Structure 1
Amino acid sequence: MKLEVEFWTLVGLLLGFMGFLFSIARLFLGQMEKRQMERFSRLEISLQNLNSLEREFLTFKAELPIQYVRREDYVRGQTVIEAKLDALYNKLEVVQHDKFEKDN
């Protein structure tokens, strides 16, 4: 069996096949670009969420010393208050003792 094809028919078939491959490649690249744009938009949204979380964390970090007292600072403050109360109690004892001696 012998198959004869003219040169221009072969060129036409070759050009048609190359056009088909080119259109498939364009379609494939378009799909890739669409997926890439979706991925970039999701990444951009997550970056915005990350920036808002970072801003919120920095705000929390700035407010933390205002709202909370460290244990050591609380103990130090309580020690000062208790020392002042002890001094006041001692003065009241002296005044009461002097008053009691005056009355007797």
Structure 2
Amino acid sequence: MTINMELWQLISLLLAFFGFTAAGAKLLVGQFEARLDEKFDSMEQARAAADRTLRDSIQELAERQKELDAQFREQEKEMNRMQVDMLSHYVRREDYIRGQTVIEAKLDALSVRLETLQLKGVGAHDR
């Protein structure tokens, strides 16, 4: 079987084929670009949401840091007050030992005096 065509029919057929092919390619490229645009839009929305979340997190952290700083300052003030109170109420071991030594020395001196008085009193009683 043979097909006879004239040149203008062959050219028209080839032009129609290339036209359909170009139209199909343009349609495919258009769909590909539309899908890419959708992906980029969704990525941009996700990035914007992440930025908002990050900004909110940073603000929350800054507020928490301020609260912690205030608590730290309050704790530091309380510690300073305790140190001042401790100085007025606390007796160091060395100070206590020194005080006890003085008291014991006075008691020893008083004991010696009492013994002396008792010896003198006993001698005066015997006469």
Scaled by the length of structure 1, what TM-score is found? Answer: 0.75
1:80 and 1:24 mapped to 2: Cα distance? 81
**Match 1:29 to one of 45, 48, 51:** 51
Correspondence for 1:43: 65
**CA–CA distance in structure 1, aligned partners of residues 110 and 50 of structure 2:** 88
Q: Given the alignment, which residue of 95, 100, 104 partners 2:122?
A: 100
Is residue 62 of structure 1 aligned with residue 87 of structure 2? no
The separation in 1 between residues aligned to 2:47 and 2:118, in whole angstroms, is 103
Q: CA deviation at 1:26?
A: 3.9
Counterpart among 94, 97, 108 of residue 72 in structure 1: 94
Partner of 2:104: 82
Other-structure match for 1:10 = none
Letter in 2 for 1:49: Q
Root-mean-square deviation (CA, aligned residues, Å) is 2.3
Using the TM superposition, give the Cα deviation of residue 54 of structure 1 relative to its aligned residue in structure 2, in angstroms. Answer: 0.9
Q: Deviations 1:41-96 (Å, cap 9, x if unpaired)?
A: 11111111111111111111111122211111111100000000111111111111
Determine what percentage of the aligned residue pairs are the same residue: 29
Provide structure 2 residue ranges, at least 5 long, that are not aligned to the other structure. 1-20, 28-33
Matched residues, number: 95
